[in-house]
Amino acid sequence: MVSSHHEAMHRIFRHDPGTFARVFHALDLPFPDPLEVEHLSVDLTEIEPIERRADTVLRIVTAESSFLLVVEAQNKRDDTRPGAWAYYLAFLHAKYTIPVVLVVVCRNRTTANWAQGPLSIGHATWPCVILHPLVLGPHNVPAITDVQAAATDLPLAALSAITHATRPEIGAILEALSTALHLVGERDDAQIYTELVELGLGRTRGAQIWRNLMSIDLSFFRGETAQRLREEGREKGHEEGRKEGREEGHEQGVADSIVRILRRRGLDVPTSAEEKITACRDLAQLTDWLDRSISARTVDDLFAD
């Protein structure tokens, strides 16, 4: 139940909106005098929920305590994001009542400089919320150019490639990661990191370097069926057969990656959905599904229009 003193503390402003100006003048705070004051509804309930999704939310448990990690990817400055990030932090803090840390991953220094803030929300004279995200970018993520280091920590090596996508050293980073992925061979997550790096590089110069490196051994983008098709093409000795095997193998490899990513993320993949994915021979459609598989909440989201 709302107490009477709680009501009194805010209703005085409702009764006499001019109180705002007088109180702040008394405190010598430089807010400008209001020209108009309008009462708005105090009901902030969202009857029709607005879809709000963070990129990734993790619960981290340590020996001493636990906290939440909200991970957001940001490619350029966007002044609408601080408001969304503040909402995520407030919502998660209220829901789980444990500390929340915001991590923003950037792939260029300009965006990283902006994202690390401080990002103010509220009136310019007296911002009530100031965000200090933990920013990961080319300025603090190490450029991993050593093959052994990359093989030892594939996730960090993949993050290094994505955050340094526009840096001069991206070629050396990708070469080390490519070699490391060859070394780990049949490890379950090797293909996943291959696909994630390709997606993370986007349309940067590093994307073409990565495609060139991966074309040396196309088995990264293929399953066993693709390998069989390539060998059959060689046996026939016909270029047309080899080309067909490469194309079909690439499509099969992308389909295998989609199913693997969904399952690695803990999603249930019904037999009917798996058959639909693996039977598809439209590379553009498969690529779209691959992009969706990274963030889809259910398999149905993968096929949604």
Q: Alpha-carbon distance 10 to 4, whole Å?
A: 10
Res 191: pLDDT? 77
From 250, 204, 209, 208, select the one nearest 106 (Cα to Cα).
204
d(CA 296, CA 290): 10
Nearest to 112 by CA among 63, 74, 165, 150: 74
Distance CA 87, CA 93 (A): 10
What are the strands of the beta sheet with 66-74, ordered from one edge?
56-61, 66-74, 100-106, 134-136
Side-chain-side CA neighbours of 133 within 13 Å: the count stands at 31
3-state secondary structure of 146: coil
Residue in the structure block whose two tokens are 């803990």: 266
* Structure tokens that stand for 97 in this block: 């009542």
pLDDT digit string (tens) for the chain, length 305 residues: 555 555 556 655 666 666 666 666 777 777 677 776 666 665 656 666 666 777 788 888 888 888 888 888 888 899 999 999 999 999 999 988 989 999 888 888 899 999 998 999 988 888 889 999 989 889 888 899 998 888 888 888 888 898 898 888 999 999 999 888 888 766 666 777 888 888 888 888 888 888 888 775 544 444 443 444 445 545 554 454 444 444 445 677 778 778 888 887 788 888 888 888 888 888 888 888 887 887 788 888 888 87
pLDDT score recorded for residue 240 = 47
Residue 154 and residue 190 in contact, taking contact as beta carbons nearer than 8 Å: yes
Sequence length of the chain is 305
* pLDDT of amino acid 173: 92
Name, in order, each residue with C-beta under 8 angstroms of 164's C-beta and a sequence gap of 6 or more: 107, 138, 141, 143, 170, 173, 206
Instruction: Read off the pTM.
Output: 0.60
Residue 13: how many CA atoms within 13 Å on its side-chain side?
A: 14
pLDDT at position 228: 47
